[in-house]
Amino acid sequence: ALERTFSILKPDATRRNLTGAINAIIEKAGLRIVAQKRIHMTRGQAETFYGVHKDRPFFGELVEFMTSAPVVVQVLEGENAIAKYREVMGATNPANAAPGTIRKEFALSVGENSAHGSDAAETAAQEIAQFFAGNEIVG
Ligand code: CMP
């Protein structure tokens, strides 16, 4: 089915000027970038976004990192976009990511892992709505 997923190009990617290189991988995979903006996340936005992880030991570090530099938030559209983007990103830990994936090519560590993608349809809708108004998404 035609789906939309939510993506973040993380601070380690913006710092190293890698957003275009990552977008090239996204587009080569057949995903269309139907919304995109560069923002500096507030602590509140990061805490809300990662609320599901609030009791994890890495939560504080995750919020620090995600607010440490600009990010690029995106909506990606395509056939099976949610699963496809997870494939294109590769495993959360770059040590386990397959060749050619964003995280294998660019990620520095499990925390500084260059990209986020939604894990399911419900979270995709929720994550998109946190960062984009309907009229900012142009398919
Ligand atoms: P993401 O897909 O953005 O969703 C949750 C994030 O938590 C995940 O990517 C990782 O970047 C981060 N994360 C997971 N495990 C750890 C860890 N052990 N230390 C730091 N960050 C982590």
pLDDT single digits (tens) 57-112: 999 999 999 999 999 999 999 999 999 999 999 999 999 999 999 999 999 999 99
Cα–ligand 1 centroid distance for 54 (angstroms): 12
Ligand 1 centre distance from Cα of residue 10 (Å): 11
For residue range 20-70, what is the model confidence (pLDDT) as tens digits?
999 999 999 999 999 999 999 999 999 999 999 999 999 999 999 999 999
Q: What is the DSSP string of 45-60?
A: HHHHHTGGGTTSTTHH
Minimum CA distance residue for ligand 1 atom 20:
111
Q: Is 110 in the pocket of ligand 1 (CB under 6 A)?
A: yes
Alpha-carbon gap, residue 74 to 63, rounded angstroms = 19
What residues are annotated to the active site?
116
Q: Please tell me whether the overall predicted TM-score, pTM, comes out greater than 0.95 for this model.
A: yes
Q: In Å, what is the CA distance from 59 to each residue of 2, 22, 39, 134?
A: 33, 25, 20, 29
